[in-house]
Amino acid sequence: MTHLDAGAHVGSVPPGPSSPAVGLAAAEVAERVARGQVNDVPVRSSRSVLDIVRANVLTRFNAIIGVLWVIMLFVAPIQDSLFGFVILANTGIGIVQEWRAKRTLDSLALIGEVRPTVRRDGTAVEVGTSEIVLDDVLEIGPGDKVVVDGVCVEADGLEIDESLLTGEADPVVKRPGDEVMSGSFVVAGGGAFRATKVGREAYAAQLAEEASRFTLVHSELRSGISTILRYVTWMMVPTATGLVVSQLVVKDNDVKDSVARTVGGIVPMVPEGLVLLTSVAFAIGVIRLGRKQCLVQELPAIEGLARVDTVCLDKTGTLTEGGMEVTGLTPLNGADEAELRRVLGALGASDPRPNASLKAIIDACPDPGGRRATRALPFSSARKYSGATLDGGDGRAATWLLGAPDVLLPDGDPALAETERLNEQGLRVLLLARAARDLDDPQVARGAEPAALVVLEQRLRPDAADTLRYFAEQDVRAKVLSGDNAVSVGAVAGKLGLSGAVVDARRLPAERDAMGEALDGATVFGRVTPQQKRDMVGALQSRGHTVAMTGDGVNDVLALKDADIGVSMGSGSEATRAVAQIVLLNNSFATLPSVVAEGRRVIGNITRVATLFLVKTVYSVLLAVMVVVSRVEYPFLPRHLTLLSTLTIGVPAFFLALAPNKERARPHFVRRVMRYAIPGGAVAALATFTTYLLAREHYTGAGALDAETSTATLTLFLVSVWVLAIIARPYTWWRIALVAAMGAGFLLVLVVPWLQDFFALRLVGVTMPWVAVGVAAVAAATLELLWKWVDRRVPA
């Protein structure tokens, strides 16, 4: 029955004469809980508070900064130790934001928690996954995930897909006594199994533990920042060593002043705020999406969203609403409509877990007329039909099939013309046919006599058209992959404004490259099997596309698992929610634009502000090298660089990192950041050191070093604020106000006497301050030309 929702099945066999397993008694459950035989697998939604604190506090650079801070507290005024208080504040902010994100994740995970049905004291009850105990009897049906290992005790046409565990694509038929493994999921039929392994002993839990032990979900942003920090560490060690020697040994200075200037040279080499800002941006992204009832099960998924250029959509439950109704019943070959309605009623009554399609049939045909199913062939997405042998109460049995007309009927059958006409209107059509063969025959559909066309209508999601329009505006291609008739799916897509060729997936080539070409040339694909969905996602990925897959049914599981980003509806099957990185708990397709926009905001803004941090690192390293080579005092005290970092990096980076950003992220994070940071840092260092050397020639006598430092600080601030002005483009009113506010803050320090004293900044005379401005102006013009050249010549 191809038009049924994914994960549905039709006509499962009613319980046999043997009594079903009653499950455990309350006392037996309590006994197993006391022995610790419970399913205590930890929830993966977030890490513990202790892990959050440890990750934010115990870092390599916090250790470096902490040691330097302690030294400065003993040898210099408190204003030279401000950088330590900034690190404390940053760490605190990081912990609080990630803790808030954890609370959001945990609360959403609780809302979307799978609650399996178990039998206790002879009654079926829903319990939390962590409440399952050894020997519990669990009921399973289409779309349900097997959450613990067990042995099948009841099977009504039960078929389980174990491909996520074994790689075997074909569903496995299960009979009483067969083993079922956690991590697999039901694709057809139903049944029950007794739990034999729970908690960390279960197969899927062992796999997850091994995976978490040896691998992490890939994040280019995270690995790129780690690479940058590793290079920074390598640069810092020799540079800092040379700086210490030059300031303490080569220059015959006061020891405390030399130590202060040495620390002043080392501290700005550390991009200490970059990791914090990344964590905060991700955490706030989780919180923002949480407010939209969007559960992010893996944090790197936010980053992946920013890179998506193709989104694959299932029709049912995504573009259309779940409910439907029967709008027509067309008898064929002179069949009696009243009899057909009784047959359909019997098919509906035989299924203990009817899906939307079958519920509509039950509503339209509630009376089975005494007929009941004695045997059944459950629906599967691969077969695209179901069947049942019905006993009419008069000793005569008949086998009926219900499914896709173009699968059950041979080409050229007259009924297909009427089906095509209805499909062109976007209607869903099922064929009821009487089989001439036994239900166990692999060719049961061959020679079936068509009896009726059942016409169902689905309602389009009111927000689907706007969502598809958003994707088109953002240059994200939408592909509809559906198990329904291609013409019907194409008609629905057309109503939503989605243009492009419509293809029957049965005619797609199996070879990956050829399939990729076909996918690039069309938009809507019908009659897609679950394995084909998986293959189509792989074909798109092989052509360089970053693919998001949305779905809610069991036939979407394999594709969701293989896609770069899997998005499941909250009302979807347990299996789809388990493998998806993102779950839309409100079942709203309209949430997707917000999800994609949040991903772009995070990755785009972090790429932008990372340049600010790394420009500082580059100019700090180069200044230290030039100081060592020139054998002069380091031009800055820690307080100067704390002030500059706060005004040109820390405060503006926080606002820029949280600003809207719709640009789709591009790959090669490290290369994209460093191609601006290296020339920007080099220009800033050369301009600053040039001003410093000129000031050394100009100023003499007592207080000369303070005057030289103030002049160099002015140049470095002007160049750094120009870098900020470039990074802030394209300008909006608040970006201009942000840059202007930072400039006003520095001006305030220069004109307020007590701030002058606090930061040891006092411009002396007129000549050198104007020279500093002139050098900064030349540096700013050089930056503009250099970065334009980089845009044209250096690949991103």
**Which CA distances in Å does 331 have to 360, 418, 698?**
18, 12, 103
Instruction: For residues 84 and 69, give the distance between their C-alpha atoms in angstroms, rounded to a whole number.
Output: 5
Q: Where are the beta strands (DSSP E) in 527-620?
A: 547-551, 565-569, 582-584
Which of 5, 136, 144, 314 is catalytic? The answer is 314
SS (H, E, C) 160-226: EECHHHHCCCCCEECCCCCEECCCCEEEEEEEEEEEEECHHHCHHHHHHHHHHHHCCCCCHHHHHHH
Identify whether the C-beta of residue 207 lies closer than 8 Å to the C-beta of residue 164: no
Alpha carbon distance, N-terminus to C-terminus of the chain? 49
Give the number of other CB atoms < 10 A from CB of residue 335: 17
H or E segment and range at residue 573: none
Amino acid at 221: L
The verdict on whether 757 is a catalytic residue reads no
Task: State the DSSP string of 45-101.
Answer: S---HHHHHHHHHS-HHHHHHHHHHHHHHHHS-GGGGHHHHHHHHHHHHHHHHHHHH
Backbone angles phi, psi at 169, to 5 degrees: -75, -30
443 beta partners: none
Contacts of 159 (CB under 8 A, 6+ apart): 171, 172, 173, 174, 186, 187, 188, 189, 378, 380
Strand-pairing partners, residue 477, are 310
CA dihedral 168, 171, 177, 179 (to 10 degrees): 40
- Paired tokens of 400: 């009926």
For residue 761, the 8-state DSSP code is -
Positions annotated as catalytic residues are 314
